[in-house]
Copies of this chain bind each other. A is one copy, B any other.
Amino acid sequence: MNKEVIADRFRSLQDFITERLEKIDGTSLFQEDLWSREAGGGGRTRTIKEGSIIEKGGVAFSEVFGEVSDVMKRQMGLDGESFFATGVSIVLHPRSPHIPIIHMNVRYFELDNGTFWFGGGIDLTPHYIVPSQAAAFHHSLKGICDQYDNQFYPKFKNWADDYFFIPHRNETRGVGGIFFDHLDTTCGLTKEQILQFCVDLGEAFASIYEYQVEKGKLLEIDSNQLKWRNLRRGRYVEFNLVNDRGTKFGLVSGGRTESILLSMPPEANWEYNLVPLEDSNEAFTLLNLKKGINWI
């Protein structure tokens, strides 16, 4: 299977997802920004803002290639000379504190030496954790994983717990999800099957998020909840800029900054040493930002 076929499938996935998200939002439309990269390739970045549901979001497709740079060799441990990479990345920051922030990414990487792998993940970051919604989210992911390998969900769920973790806060970013990397045919699936697994995740993404939106969108909002939303967005910023290996690698390796930082919220707040009131919904959320919770 040609790498162009994979890029085409990912490009179609971006179309499918942006169309569905526009329907879910009902007000704002995505704006498209085409860019090219001097060293090879480019991307199609779609952003949405000031929607009824989505305050700021991005669905980015890219397809880049070129020489394996020294920083890639060092930081990714690569031994090839040239690479090809394509993927779709999404982060959505909803307006309502009762709708979670969501992230999804699927990606494919290959080297001129013949090695290739897929990676990806979906994770959910509720401003207020609702266990039944976290369970529904994980249930959907498990359903997709189980169609391919019933070891995928437990393995990728733990991987997400470890990856989406903020050590300096001793908090997970949210209720986790799944994360995987370096997935190749040694897992027992064919290349086509792994691609289909990624596409299935991407296609399920819109429905998965729609469910979360429906659950939260009619709930009333007060100013304390908006303040809490912005503080949680601050934690999202901290994770992405301090801990997220993808973001850090992108920034130091000369990636396109505006695409990498699509994940930033429209607005984030910080307050010194804020401790939520005992038994509040905020305290309940903090208490559940832990690794190893079986949400299902």
Q: Which residue of B lies closest to A230 (CB)?
A: B267
Contact of A272 among B58, B167, B168, B242 (CB under 8 A): B58
Interface assignment of A258: CB less than 8 Å from any CB of chain B: yes
Q: How far is the CB of A35 from chain B (nearest CB, A)?
A: 10
Q: Is the CB of A266 within 8 A of B270?
A: yes
Please tell me if A107 contacts chain B, counting CB pairs below 8 Å.
no
Bound-complex Cα distance A238 to B248 (A): 11
Cβ of A272: which chain B residues have Cβ within 8 Å of it?
A: 33, 45, 47, 49, 56, 58, 258, 262
A265 interface residue per 8 A CB criterion: yes
Within 8 A of B (CB), among A89-105: none
Q: Is A69 an interface residue (CB 8 A)?
A: no
A56 touches B270 (CB 8 A): yes
Set of chain B residues within 8 Å of A204, measured between Cβ atoms: none
Give the size category of A's interface with B: 20 to 34
Q: Report if A271 contacts B (CB, 8 A).
A: yes
State the Cβ distance, A235 to closest chain B Cβ, in Å.
11
B269 touches A266 (CB 8 A): yes
A45-65 Cβ-contact flags toward B at 8 Å (1 or 0):
101010000001010000000
What is the distance, in angstroms, from A249's C-beta to the closest C-beta of chain B?
12
- Bound Cα distance A230, B233 (Å): 15
* B270 engages A269 (CB within 8 Å): no
Q: Is A185 an interface residue (CB 8 A)?
A: no
23 contacts between A and B (CB under 8 A): A33-B272, A33-B273, A45-B272, A47-B272, A47-B273, A56-B270, A167-B251, A168-B252, A168-B257, A169-B257, A237-B237, A237-B241, A237-B268, A238-B261, A241-B242, A242-B248, A242-B251, A258-B272, A258-B273, A266-B270, A266-B271, A268-B268, A268-B269
List the 8 closest pairs (A to B, CB-CB), nearest first: A264-B270, A241-B241, A168-B251, A47-B272, A168-B257, A258-B273, A267-B269, A241-B242
